[in-house]
Structure 1
């Protein structure tokens, strides 16, 4: 199944929709409502197919993020290639802790953008970046989950791109916290929440044998593969649930795939070869089986002085 969210022209409200033969079959509920409901998504898919609240051609609708306002957003760092390459290029050793447990930070649920929305520059940045990632969306609440049961709590997967102000990030993290404002302005999700059964034929290693790529202004920058995960989503979900409750709609990003950001490419090939993002740049983030995010970078607001 492929689910998404959109603003209906009928009532100007958010609705969940199932993709069926190039058409959106909508329900008079949000996707977060469906995930929180006792009935499984399969039952809601039957209702959407048989008696939709609204039917629209998918190519004529500006989609929202599948979960426009998640209860929480965690972003992990689970691809070893990215960690090793970027740290080596900066002359920093990889901490042994990274191999002991999956690590993550919390990011901003209020900064979620849809798959075709413009992305503003973070206030004050001159080193803006994309991050090529995949994310799991929690469909069933759970706490203190074991890895062998954690995957059953995943409703589906979405493309995840957290737009990163590298100069702000590097500066604020000198204080021993963060990233915060370096990641606070925008995170794009979508276009579809794809259920795990659709991806099952591609299962490989700790993920799926699906190509991940990013292009900027039509030039290919990044290429990776979901199967290269060091930490599986089962392990990430289990660790995230330790001592707390994961709720339906929570989003867990994988972290950047190897070569999946300008920072990594610039460190290894030089900033002139892979320049930082600027207003007017067109960025396409794509994962086979999940679709693509197509975003235009636009001017952001100026930073307001604190003192």
Structure 2
């Protein structure tokens, strides 16, 4: 089942997507009753009756959920190798990366829809995309094992963690991880595919063997398999729940795939910004087998409001 949140005639709705047999041209969306929030469907597991179908082309797709929290992991070794050289000039993969699936908390209020425009973050001159898949939690849990965690995954969606690489490179020198370099926008969509739909893609290691492709202005930049993740989504959920709660609607990103899943990886390998950073007018299209496609166009952003540098203080004591 494919579940979407959308805007139609000025109203926010949710419903079931039917792609039909003619591709996007025959796709329709059957809406749930007005006021039905997809997060409540996820939480209860109850799928309401639907009304008359709408052509998918007549609605604006919104992020499927407004997540309570967003954890973005980094599970592709190839991505770490390339982007680490680009962002902080260091070669290889840190030993600590192999210990556990590391993540950072992203901004849950920065989700954008499958076809929304994405403004350049204030002060950014090196904007990048990141091709990822995210699992969405369906049941609350704590201290889960990977085996138990499988029953806590409701479904999957495409996740594009837009990244201001120049801002990220500077601020990560502080040692706290990304800040404004990752704060502006994250594409979530085009819809939420329930976990059972992707079971046929599962390989012997429990990973989902889905083809991933990234294009900029119609030119393919990257191609990889989701099964190149070094941890399964069940292991990501289990780790996230260690000493903490995961809740319905929580989003867990896979981290960026390798082989051109973002520009920074290629910059790190080639030693130059080739292909160039994204500019207004560029359109990034990401496709994940079994899920769908998102396509966002970059637009000009705002001028940053000046903030002073740190003040040198005398370190007085009371």
Q: TM-score, normalised by structure 2?
A: 0.89
State the 1:186 CA deviation.
Answer: 0.4
Structure 2 residue aligned with 1:81: 78
Q: Name the SS for the 2:268 alignment partner.
A: helix
Q: CA-to-partner distance for each residue in 1:56-109, whole Å, 9 max, x for gaps?
A: 111221110111x21001100011121134346743342222111100000101
Partner residue, 2:272: 271
Residue in structure 1 matched with residue 23 of structure 2 by the alignment = none
Structure 1, unmatched stretches of 5+, are none
Larger radius of gyration: 2
Task: Report the secondary structure of 2:6's partner residue.
Answer: strand
**Greater alpha carbon shift after TM alignment, 80-89 vs 194-203:** 80-89
**Range 18-27 or range 132-141, more displaced:** 18-27
CA deviation profile, 1:251-284 (whole Å, cap 9, x unmatched): 0001010021100112223535310000110110
* Aligned partners of 1:27 and 1:54 also within 8 Å: no
| Length-normalised TM-score, structure 1 | 0.92
The CA deviation at 1:297 is 0.3
CA contact (8 A) 1:285 1:293 kept: yes
Alpha-carbon contact 1:206-1:231 (below 8 Å) kept: no
1:13 and 1:241 map into 2 onto residues whose CA distance is: 35
1:117-161, Cα deviation, whole Å (9 max, x unpaired): 000101001000000100000111111111111111011000000
Residue deviations 1:187-215, cap 9 Å, x none?
A: 00100111121111111244222110111
Aligned counterparts of 1:36 and 1:87: Cα–Cα separation in 2: 37
Instruction: State the superposition RMSD in angstroms.
Output: 1.5
* Correspondence 1:25 to 2:22: no
Question: What 5-or-longer segments of structure 2 have no aligned partner?
Answer: 21-26, 309-318
Equivalent pair of 2:14/2:37 in contact (CA under 8 Å): yes
